[in-house]
């Protein structure tokens, strides 16, 4: 009997990656929502035990054994639950390419992501330009393909789609339009949202915006 538990938080794009992957693979799992991810004292015992190094979600617990870090979890899921259509390409070169873009994207969102909603003025503007540049590079990588994975919705699509639920927030706070800057990217976003795994997982962008405003108030960020 397989026991699969996912520790998460509803606004985390990294958690969404794992949820989408589990749904795509048809794997049954129990989801446990953390009460709060900002302060260690509010985190569950299970999270602190399962991820003592980073104390962060997502954590996948498979038959009692924890796996941390979203990309590592995705690789694990793909290796344990093998199907005809895998998340990772069988070709090592395309696997490397997907890993590269995820790594690039994750580094960018770490450096400029927070500035988009927490900073103002020139800092925020610079972050906005960097973010748009990043999306344009990804748009270029997508090219004419329906998905980053080619004909099939795969690893890179799963890794990138979650951040899109924050677009409304970024657009409102930074005054720009992703649709205007990157129309092809938005076409891909709409295509992905037609998949049940995505539409069931991504939260309402307006709820995300309200949450960000609450966080700003809580930590007194103007």
Partner 1 sequence: MADEVVLLDFWPSPFGMRVRIALAEKGIDYEGREEDLSNKSPLLLKMNPVNKQIPVLIHKGRPISESLIIVQYIDEAWSNNKSPLLPSDPYQRANARFWADYIDKKIYSTGRLVWGTTGEVQEKAKEELRESFRVLEKELAEKTYFGGDMFGLVDVALIPFYSWFYTLETTANFSITEEFPRLVSWAKRCMQRDSVSNSVPDQYKIYDFLLDLKKKMHSIE
List of residues contacting partner 1 (CB under 8 A): 53, 62, 65, 67-69, 72-73, 75-76, 79-80, 92-93, 95-97, 99-100, 103-104, 137
Residue 205 CB, nearest approach to partner 1 (Å): 28
- Note whether 54 and 61 are within 8 A (CB): no
Identify which of residues 68 and 156 has a Cβ nearer to partner 1 in the complex.
Answer: 68
Residue 141 CB, nearest approach to partner 1 (Å): 10
- Measuring CA to CA, which residue among 6, 61, 51 is closest to residue 201? 6
Backbone angles phi, psi at 147, to 5 degrees: -130, 160
Backbone angles phi, psi at 37, to 5 degrees: -110, 0
Identify which of residues 80 and 126 has a Cβ nearer to partner 1 in the complex.
Answer: 80
Identify which of residues 130 and 205 has a Cβ nearer to partner 1 in the complex.
Answer: 130
Taking the C-alpha atoms of residue 161 and residue 140, their distance in angstroms, rounded to an integer, is 16
Identify which of residues 43 and 62 has a Cβ nearer to partner 1 in the complex.
Answer: 62
Q: Starting from the edge strand earliest in sequence, which strands make up the sheet with 59-62, in order?
A: 30-33, 4-8, 59-62, 65-68
């Amino acid at each position: 009997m397989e026991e699969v538990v996912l520790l998460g938080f509803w606004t985390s794009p990294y958690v969404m990656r794992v949820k989408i992957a589990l749904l795509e693979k048809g794997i049954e799992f129990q989801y446990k929502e953390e009460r709060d991810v900002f302060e260690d004292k509010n985190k569950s015992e299970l999270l602190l035990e399962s991820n003592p190094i980073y104390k962060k979600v997502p954590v996948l617990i498979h038959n009692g054994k924890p796996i941390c870090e979203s990309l590592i979890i995705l690789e694990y899921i793909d290796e344990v639950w093998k199907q005809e259509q895998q998340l990772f390409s069988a070709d090592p070169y395309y696997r490397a390419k997907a890993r590269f873009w995820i790594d690039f994207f994750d580094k960018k969102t770490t450096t400029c992501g927070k500035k988009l909603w927490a900073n103002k003025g020139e800092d925020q503007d610079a972050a906005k330009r960097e973010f748009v540049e990043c999306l344009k590079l990804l748009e270029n990588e997508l090219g004419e393909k329906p998905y980053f994975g080619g004909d099939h919705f795969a690893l890179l699509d799963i890794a990138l789609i979650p951040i899109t639920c924050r677009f409304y927030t970024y657009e409102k706070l930074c005054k720009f339009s992703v649709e205007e800057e990157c129309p092809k990217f938005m076409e891909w976003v709409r295509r992905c949202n037609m998949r049940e795994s995505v539409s069931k997982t991504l939260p309402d962008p307006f709820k995300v915006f309200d949450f960000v405003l609450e966080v700003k108030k809580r930590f007194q960020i103007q």
